[in-house]
Amino acid sequence: MGVILLLHTLLVLLFTIRILLRDDLSPPGRLAWFVVLNLLPYFGSAMYFLFGETDLGDRADKRHKEIFEEIRAKASWFMGEATNTEKLIDPVYLSAFQYAGSINGFHPSMGNAAELMADGDETLTRMVADIDAAIDHVHVLYYIWIDDNTGHAIAEALIRAAHRGVTCRAMADGLGSRAMINSALWQRMRGAGVHLAVALSLKHPIRTILTSRLDLRNHRKITVIDSRVTYCGSRNSADPEFLVKAKYAPWVDIMLRFTGPVVVQNQLLFASDWMQATNEALDGIALARGPTDGGFPAQVMGVGPTERHGATPQLFANLIACAQDRLTLTTPYFVPDATVLEALCATAYRGVSVSLIFPKVNDSLIVAAASRSYYHRLLDAGCTIHEFKGGLLHAKILTIDGKISLIGSSNLDLRSFDLNYENNILLQDEATTLAIEERQQTYVSRSEVVGLPTVLAWHYHKRIWHNVIATIGPVL
């Protein structure tokens, strides 16, 4: 008994000291780990060892720094000029665009256009047509790539392009696309001449566990054709039926097809991942920029465990604070940190119409519980909450005042904030934002409003469950 007590004490003391030494951990994060370690010392210690640190290691950090130094040295002209931001962006929203530019060095450029895809079928049809029309290169990166109708069609289009002599690079996350990476279709692509790479490979899991974390993932969804067209949004290379989690189907996504200077910015973000995975130089990746006249200003924003800590919630807080009239946020996973939560409440308190759209049924019971722990606070502040009933709403969108849109792969949860590589496009354009807002209204029309009386009527055991999960949320 004495030995067990001593071991308990040493484990708690060791990890407590480690937690207290970390300057990057928030006070709620520290508190959550203290709770877990004291209540479940052996399990908690194992969990902290496996998942407590958001670090890919010194080698990855050093390589990331080298890659962006090379990109800035060789391709800064494609990244936009910080000095132009004030000329291109409405002063009301300027601070948010300036903050976004501080993350990777991508700044707004004029000359962009965007089309909102009607649905998954149109997205696939247009994407395959663009790949079939490629004459120089095609670059794709997906977190989840499944050998279903969509995943197979994209792979076959890449194979056809490679046979025509087009340089094709395809990249997939080692965990999210593990079945594809081990499939015959992946080998067919390789045999056809498609250059393949795995982001954050699980080839050496023990080494990964000892030096990093297994759940640090590349969650990006990037498609670039001839530096002329790029797609950005929430959709993986998978059908809406989403076979790996079919009981939550359909998965409802949103995708935009972009042309203009923002395309090459997305190309450079893809290049940074490709260079990290393959150690290739930027010189091998073709870059070209179209006209910059007309169109609207837009910029790419990429985040991840090798980027500045807290960049995503700080960007969202900046954007939320800019809203003057209305703000609509759509996300499947809502576990905000204090920065985002306070920004949403403060914006609603000052009279801005704040609408939040979440799925009614979530594929993560933990996330669903944590999300609902915030409902009372948000509703008290004057926010409107809608829960979508037509499948799993997977779209990740923020629209502001009918003028500003943020679209991409980032969720409003701690995984997107700290653990995942994400990609987004921030734009200023009334027509594009109106189209996205109209799509958000179709989500609202298929949702039920969750009012304060409903939340107050929740049984006490449900409220306790929500708040317990939210308390340990920083460790999930």
Do residues 134 and 226 make contact, with C-beta atoms less than 8 angstroms apart?
yes
Do residues 158 and 168 make contact, with C-beta atoms less than 8 angstroms apart?
yes
Interatomic CA distance for residues 209 and 223, integer angstroms: 30
Tell me whether strands 167-173 and 137-142 are parallel, antiparallel or unpaired.
Answer: parallel
Interatomic CA distance for residues 462 and 31, integer angstroms: 23
3-state secondary structure of 419: helix
- Whole-angstrom CA distances from 93 to 221, 404, 453 are 26, 8, 35
- What is the pLDDT, as a whole number, of residue 474? 66
Interatomic CA distance for residues 180 and 236, integer angstroms: 13
- What is the pLDDT, as a whole number, of residue 374? 96
- What is the pLDDT, as a whole number, of residue 326? 98
C-alpha dihedral (449, 452, 453, 457), degrees to nearest 10 = 100
- What is the pLDDT, as a whole number, of residue 319? 98
Q: Is 8 exposed, middle or buried (0-12, 13-18, 19+ CB in 10 A)?
A: middle
Give the tens place of pLDDT for each residue, 165-220: 999 999 999 999 999 999 999 999 999 999 999 999 877 776 666 666 667 899 99
Interatomic CA distance for residues 63 and 22, integer angstroms: 23
Interatomic CA distance for residues 182 and 165, integer angstroms: 25
Q: Which of 402, 169, 364 is nearest to 272 (CA)?
A: 169
**Does pTM surpass 0.85?**
yes
- What is the pLDDT, as a whole number, of residue 339? 93
Q: List, as one string, the DSSP characters of 73-130.
A: HHHGGGG--GGGHHHHS-GGGHHHHHHHHHHHS---EEEEEEEE-SSHHHHHHHHHHH
What is the residue-level pLDDT of the chain in tens, covering all 476 positions?
567 667 667 777 777 787 777 766 777 777 777 777 777 776 777 666 666 666 666 778 888 899 999 999 999 999 999 999 999 999 999 999 999 999 999 999 999 999 999 999 999 999 999 999 999 999 999 999 999 999 999 999 999 999 999 999 999 999 999 999 999 999 999 999 999 999 998 777 766 666 666 678 999 999 999 999 999 999 999 999 998 899 999 999 999 999 999 999 999 999 999 999 999 999 888 888 766 678 999 999 999 988 888 999 999 999 999 999 999 999 999 999 999 999 999 999 999 999 999 999 999 999 999 999 999 999 999 999 999 999 999 999 999 999 999 999 999 998 898 889 999 999 999 999 999 999 999 999 999 999 999 999 999 899 988 988 887 766 65
The stretches of 176-261 forming alpha helices (DSSP H) are: 178-181, 184-192, 205-211
Residue 218 Ramachandran class (φ > 0 left, ψ -120 to 50 alpha, else beta): beta
